Amino acid sequence: MSDVTETIKRNGRPWVTGARLHFALPHFDDFLAWLKLRGYAKRVIAGYVTQFGHWTQWLHEAGFGMETIHDGYAASVASLEAEPFRSVKLRTGALFIIFLEERGVIDPLPKAPSATETWPILGEYRDWMRRNRGVTETSLDTYQITLLDLMKMVGGNPESYSSTVVRDFVLWRASLHGRASARMTVTATKSFLRYLVATGQCPAGIDHAVPKVAGWHLAPTPHFLDDFQIERVIAACSGESRLRDRAVVLLLIRLGLRAGEVANLEFSNIDWAGGRLAITGGKSQRSEWLPLPQDIGDAILSYLERGRPKLASPNVFVTARLPMRPITRAAVTDIVNSALDRAGIQSAKRGSHLLRHSAATAMLRHGVSLAGVGSVLRHRSPSTTMLYAKVDFGLLREIAQPWAGRPTC
């Protein structure tokens, strides 16, 4: 790593031999080699080391050493709040700690128990829902937010659940939030109680103790982008640096995929010869084939040929920054929101589902039937697709029912 060291010295930042590295000196060269092995460019490493020198100096002056480096990092997070380049200093410090843990120089901090470790019944519920109901991880994560509150209030022993306890919990939690959150509280609680009934841990009928939240069928109107806005979002993903973003946005806006489906897309899901791709998972618990439009296929190929890092992973889309790994559904949402910002589009609703709604309404505006839209979006119930008819009064004729009463005068 002498080339990186010389680069640092030429820039007038001789932290390699200065007091600022102090206790880090015995491991410094190995740390630089570790960064390089992970694909960090020389320029990036040089910048990291500069801020690393400032961070280690702060640790030394604050009285922290190698044996207390975890406590020192936690203290620096708060103490460096107003410091310039704070994020780079902390990022480099975090990398150094990971390096030391991998090399066995320091012991890693014990991990806090996960929610399912603290409450084993939640893990059993999630596993049962995946196997028997095909519920997605996204839905289970959302339900778990409510169920953690239930665990904290009532505990994880189903024998302590009663109609009164269940009703009191739902009413309490619903009072803290708006109508949408209240409805989610009801949905998650009912789902959990039905699991307990199905597995014989609670008496049948306890789920009926969950109070209902007032609502109107098909009441909300979906937020969506018009054709002009859709093209602006796609155009905002032009250029060699955004090949991945363009492919992701096209999958969302042309086929109406969910964020998790894009994040989990693997090479084996794409049938290039047949011009189709398989969407695996979801509530149907089976793979469903969708057509692969030309523009989506071209965008994915461009990304694979010129934009995707050389990472041995079955996932098509990976992160653009180190450390390299498959993208998550949260990253897909970030890609969409960044594209909306670049396109200058303001919307009350954002994220990947805005593009899914836009895909549905665009298909309807261009003559696709409600049944056809439901097939592409993989809706289990036709009533879900009917929601999109509300964006156009003409489309309402497809679901309008004849008036059963007498004609008016």
Q: Which residues pair with 266 in a beta bridge?
A: 315
Annotated catalytic residue, options 283, 286, 349, 380: 283
Dihedral sign (CA 335, 336, 340, 341) = negative
Please tell me what DSSP assigns to residue 405: S
Q: Is 258 a catalytic residue?
A: yes
The one-letter code for the residue type at 20 is R
Longest dimension (CA), the chain: 96
Estimate the share of the chain in helix, then strand, then coil, as percent rounded to the nearest 5. 60, 5, 35
Relative to beta strand 270-271, strand 288-291 is unpaired
Q: Is 379 a catalytic residue?
A: yes
**388 tagged catalytic:** yes
Tokens found for residue 364: 């309807």
Catalytic option among 48, 73, 125, 388: 388
Of the candidates 13, 173, 254, 356, the residue annotated as catalytic is 356
Cα torsion 127, 129, 134, 140: sign? negative
Select which of 258, 308, 329, 357 is catalytic: 258
Residue 283 is a catalytic residue: yes
Burial class, 134, CB count within 10 angstroms (exposed 0-12 / middle 13-18 / buried 19+): middle
The active-site residue, picked from 167, 353, 365, 390, is: 353
Determine whether 353 is an active site residue. yes
> Measured between alpha carbons, how far is residue 16 from residues 6, 13, 77, 273 in Å?
10, 8, 24, 55
Catalytic residue IDs: 258, 283, 353, 356, 379, 388
